[in-house]
Amino acid sequence: MTFSPAFFEVRDQVRNWGRWGNDDRIGTLNLIIDDAVAHAASLIKTGRRVSCALDLRNDGLQFGQVQGRINPELTMTMINSPFGDDKNSHDKNSHDKNSHDKNSDDKISDDENDDARSLIPHFSDDIVTMALQTATHWDGLSHVSYDNTLYNGVPASSINSVGASVLGIENIRHLTGRGVLLDLCTSKGVTQLPSDYEITPKDLDEAAQRCGVTMRTGDIVLLRTGRMQLLDAGAEEYLLGPNKDATCPGPGLDAVCWFHRHDVAAVATDTYIFEAFPGTNPDDTLAVHCLHLVDMGLTQGQNWNLETLAAVCAEENRYEFFLEANPEPFVGGCGSPVNPVAVF
């Protein structure tokens, strides 16, 4: 299998290798300069905040559709445990073998001991096992390769059993700036985009105009397709879509050129797959992932819940806001969960 000629035409237009130096590890996030963040901060007027994250839960989005991608599994390691208490270690040699012969009046009963310790600090602690892209997340630049190559010409062999040694998600120390919601549902007057709809540059221009947004270099663009509404019926409904065939609305090849032309820093959607799937040409299945992550170095996100955000944008009559969406710095990670928060 190889990509279509159209893919390579787009690749040649959007490839950013070397644009920020041969050692660059964050791609288009270089576009979020200090002035861009300062402008984003000036958009905070009321302090109203909206989270776009799904809960991290053991009955979440994953049901075996992607190998190894599991829902979060939380395990308690301590439950209301007294500080300094170690019930699993007991130095028997520290006690007189005949201590049981001592006067019982000198002993403190278990109940009395518990009462005596009730006012000292007690702690609960936990661990979690999960896929880093299990729910609302960013894809790191190491998430996808083709032709044995990652972003900026980094060899795909730089990823091994312990993670991505060069393009790990920890390279992204902050992802904060002006967020822009392009509400494609509102601009088209529909509740949801059709399940296999391919978003075009014309669609993006119309959504920006309808939402009163003028694009700026370094924007973090959020695309609302309405697909998240299906999650109320369950993860399978959300993933498979209304046609039960796993088709998905999202950007196509031409939209990649739009993101490049507008110097978009990062882009996220309210779908599982991100791009139009399977797309109009079977040779280009998941080609947008490759163009974004490998050629542009464009960080992309999936499973963002944009429903409340869309409602608040309509109420506030503005579709731009300060957005804090920092990934967790998992060393070697190919992605990261995120709790994106829009501030108005």
Strand-pair category, 73-82 with 122-129: antiparallel
Q: What is the C-alpha separation between 244 and 264, in angstroms, rounded?
A: 32
Beta strands in 83-219 (DSSP E): 122-129, 137-139, 159-160, 163-164, 176-183, 198-199
From first to last of its 344 residues, the chain has per-residue pLDDT tens of 689 999 999 999 999 999 999 999 999 999 999 999 999 999 999 999 999 999 999 999 999 889 889 999 999 999 999 988 765 434 444 444 444 444 444 444 555 666 677 889 999 999 999 999 999 999 999 999 999 999 999 999 999 999 999 999 999 999 999 999 999 999 999 999 999 999 999 999 999 999 999 999 999 999 999 999 999 999 999 999 999 999 999 999 999 999 999 999 999 999 999 999 999 999 999 999 999 999 999 999 999 999 999 999 999 999 999 999 999 999 999 999 999 999 99
How does DSSP assign 263-283, residue by residue?
T-SEEEESSSS-S-BS-S-GG
Structural contact between residues 313 and 183, judged by C-beta atoms closer than 8 angstroms: yes
Sequence-separated contacts (24+) of 141-145 with Cβ below 8 Å: 141/25, 141/26, 141/27, 141/167, 141/171, 141/293, 141/294, 141/297, 141/299, 142/166, 142/167, 142/168, 142/169, 142/334, 143/289, 143/293, 143/334, 143/335, 144/286, 144/289, 144/290, 144/293, 144/294, 145/294
Task: Count Cα neighbours of 181 within 13 Å in the Cβ-side half-sphere.
Answer: 35
Q: Could you tell me if 85 and 123 are in contact, meaning their C-beta atoms sit under 8 angstroms apart?
A: no
Q: What is the CATH number of domain 5-68+132-343?
A: 3.50.30.50
Strands 198-199, 250-251: pairing is: parallel
* pLDDT digits 0-9 by tens, 102-157: 444 444 455 566 667 788 999 999 999 999 999 999 999 999 999 999 999 999 99
Structure tokens at 298: 């464009």
The DSSP-derived string for 218-250 is: T-EEEEE-SGGGGGGG-HHHHHHTTTTS--B-E
Tell me: the pLDDT tens digits for 60-119? 999 988 988 999 999 999 999 998 876 543 444 444 444 444 444 444 455 566 667 788
Question: Where exactly are the structural domains of the chain?
Answer: 5-68+132-343, 73-129
φ/ψ (deg, to 5) at 251: -65, 145
> CA nearest 173: which of 60, 318, 37?
37
- Specify the pTM: 0.91
